[in-house]
């Protein structure tokens, strides 16, 4: 570690990344203030499926997925949908995405995802020792099921995970039904990660981490950040609707909303959003014991304290379009296909996964302002990666050396 200890940090965003970064900074005795115009854990970090998925190294930038995309987009009842009015704005993202849908990029993403996913649960374990997770976190494994429809893709996933030494157990239909007797066997096989944890209440967990941050002396300001800049060699300025605050260093951890700030810093990072939805079937959470994901349908069920949470689909449509009723119907129909006993749903919710077109997050210094660190773009895995991102980013802010190769997450990859 270098001798120059950081004197103060401002973090923009109180999602799981921002709160975990804040906690790690306080452990290093660095005075920290988190800004958010919402209460902590209101956006994607609230409504996700709650899976801790350290095995999920393969993302959607794959040649096999690319082949299926056009037919999925033109079907209104598939796992992928488009808001057509948003296409012109999304062209840069689509352009970069297409460039990354090849085997080399797929494996590059898998390698760099694996590196941080591999440390993700150790980083959470450390935090879980300091907070009471009773009724909030369970370790009952996570099941994936599939039909014969996309077996080539399933085989590719199994092969890559084997190559990377990731533990996985392939299951027959009977073995799946032994674990989850209430689901209808509308699938032909599956995979079990028996060591995986899930959240029964992501917001409840985040709130506990946030409370620990406050107990350790962290500050929180419920203010909307309008702009951010490096004002002097060792000073950054965060301007909210109320006032301008100065810190030695600042962090952008605004999830899918980070682009408005990075654009101001003169970097054209092609961050966009994959919209996802959830609904709750209240009182039905005991129908299954653990999360089940139906891969061909792009949706899953998680037993949570709020009810059985049905989560999923990817909709490309930006941050401003209204929610789509059709997407909700799709999730509800998929849920009833697996569990025909389900009836009424509540709490329709739309959330924004922050996604870069190569499906790697941006973790590291801004290209033009070295005292500003980025921590966003964790796409489908931002819940899993919160604690490890906290450790990495706090280390960077404290000028610590790391054994991790962080080059794959640098924003300069888009220049
Ligand atoms: C449907 C769905 C299911 C998912 N399931 C899983 C899963 O099972 N497992 C998993 O690992 N991941 C999952 N994810 C992904 C995960 O939820 C996200 O990647 C993660 O929550 C992103 O965290 P974040 O802190 O970067 O962003 P967010 O949680 O979105 O937080 C960003 C914060 O920044 C604040 N903010 C934005 N702009 C400003 C501003 N100008 N000033 C002040 N504050 C600002 C926002 O109010 C917000 O609170 C899922 C996501 C979705 C949508």
Task: Decide whether any atom of ligand 1 lies within 6 Å of the 384 Cβ.
Answer: yes
Residue 71 is predicted with a pLDDT of 72
Question: What does the alpha-carbon distance between residue 380 and residue 56 come to, in Å, rounded to a whole number?
Answer: 9
Give the Å distance between the CA of 378 and the centre of ligand 1. 8
Residue 2 in this model has a pLDDT that exceeds 60 = no
Residue 41 in this model has a pLDDT that exceeds 90 = yes
Which atom number of ligand 1 is nearest to the Cα of residue 260? Answer: 41
Task: Decide whether any atom of ligand 1 lies within 6 Å of the 220 Cβ.
Answer: no
DSSP H helical ranges for 265-379:
325-338
Residue 138 in this model has a pLDDT that exceeds 60 = yes
Instruction: Please answer whether residues 238 and 260 qualify as being in contact, where contact means their C-beta atoms are separated by less than 8 angstroms.
Output: no
Distances (CA, A) of 46 to 4, 87, 200, 309: 36, 27, 11, 12
Q: What percentage of the chain has pLDDT greater than the value 70?
A: 99
Nearest Cα to 211, choosing from 2, 405, 19?
A: 19
Over residues 323-354, the pLDDT tens digits come to: 999 999 999 999 999 999 999 999 999 999 99
Give the Å distance between the CA of 256 and the centre of ligand 1. 7
The residue nearest atom 50 of ligand 1, judged by CA position, is 48
Task: Decide whether any atom of ligand 1 lies within 6 Å of the 318 Cβ.
Answer: no
Residue 226 in this model has a pLDDT that exceeds 60 = yes
Question: What does the alpha-carbon distance between residue 60 and residue 358 come to, in Å, rounded to a whole number?
Answer: 9
Q: What are the chain's domains?
A: 9-46+204-269+359-414 (3.50.50.60), 52-197+271-355 (3.30.9.10)
Average pLDDT for 195-216: 98
pLDDT interval class at 70 (50, 70, 90): confident
Q: What percentage of the chain has pLDDT greater than the value 90?
A: 92
The residue nearest atom 16 of ligand 1, judged by CA position, is 382
Over residues 252-305, the pLDDT tens digits come to: 999 999 999 999 999 999 999 999 999 999 999 999 999 999 999 999 999 999
Residue 76 is predicted with a pLDDT of 66
């Amino acid at each position: 570690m270098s001798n120059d200890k950081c004197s103060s940090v401002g973090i923009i965003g109180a999602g799981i990344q921002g709160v975990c970064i804040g906690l790690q900074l306080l452990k290093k005795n660095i005075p920290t203030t988190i800004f958010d115009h919402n209460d902590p854990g209101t956006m994607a970090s609230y409504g996700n499926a709650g899976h801790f998925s350290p095995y999920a190294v393969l993302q959607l930038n794959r040649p096999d997925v690319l082949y299926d995309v056009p037919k999925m987009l033109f079907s209104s009842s598939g796992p992928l949908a488009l808001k057509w009015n948003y296409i012109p704005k999304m062209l840069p993202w689509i352009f970069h995405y297409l460039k990354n849908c090849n085997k080399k990029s797929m494996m590059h993403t898998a390698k760099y995802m694996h590196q941080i996913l591999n440390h993700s649960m150790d980083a959470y374990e450390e935090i879980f020792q300091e907070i009471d997770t009773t009724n909030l976190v369970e370790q009952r494994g996570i099941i994936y099921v599939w039909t014969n429809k996309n077996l080539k893709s399933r085989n590719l996933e199994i092969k890559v995970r084997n190559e990377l030494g990731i533990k996985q157990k392939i299951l027959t239909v009977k073995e799946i039904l032994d674990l989850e007797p209430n689901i209808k066997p509308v699938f032909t096989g599956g995979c079990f990660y028996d060591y995986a944890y899930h959240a029964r209440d992501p917001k409840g967990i985040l709130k506990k981490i946030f409370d620990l941050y406050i107990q350790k002396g962290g500050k929180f300001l419920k203010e909307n950040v309008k702009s951010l800049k490096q004002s002097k060699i060792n000073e950054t300025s965060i301007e909210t609707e109320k006032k301008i605050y100065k810190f030695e260093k600042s962090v952008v951890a605004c999830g899918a909303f980070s682009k408005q700030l990075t654009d101001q810093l003169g970097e054209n990072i092609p961050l966009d959003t994959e919209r996802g939805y959830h609904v709750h079937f209240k009182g039905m959470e005991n129908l299954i014991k653990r999360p089940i994901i139906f891969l061909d349908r792009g949706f899953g069920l998680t037993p949570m304290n709020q009810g059985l949470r049905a989560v999923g689909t990817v909709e490309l449509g930006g941050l401003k379009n209204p929610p789509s009723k059709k997407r909700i119907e799709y999730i509800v129909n998929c849920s009833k296909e697996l569990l025909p006993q389900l009836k009424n749903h509540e709490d329709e919710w739309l959330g924004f996964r922050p996604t870069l077109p190569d499906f790697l997050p941006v973790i590291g210094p801004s290209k033009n302002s070295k005292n500003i660190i980025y921590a966003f773009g964790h796409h489908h895995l931002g819940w899993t990666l919160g604690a490890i991102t906290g450790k990495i980013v706090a280390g960077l802010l404290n000028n610590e050396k790391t054994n991790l190769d962080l080059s794959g997450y640098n924003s300069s990859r888009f220049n």
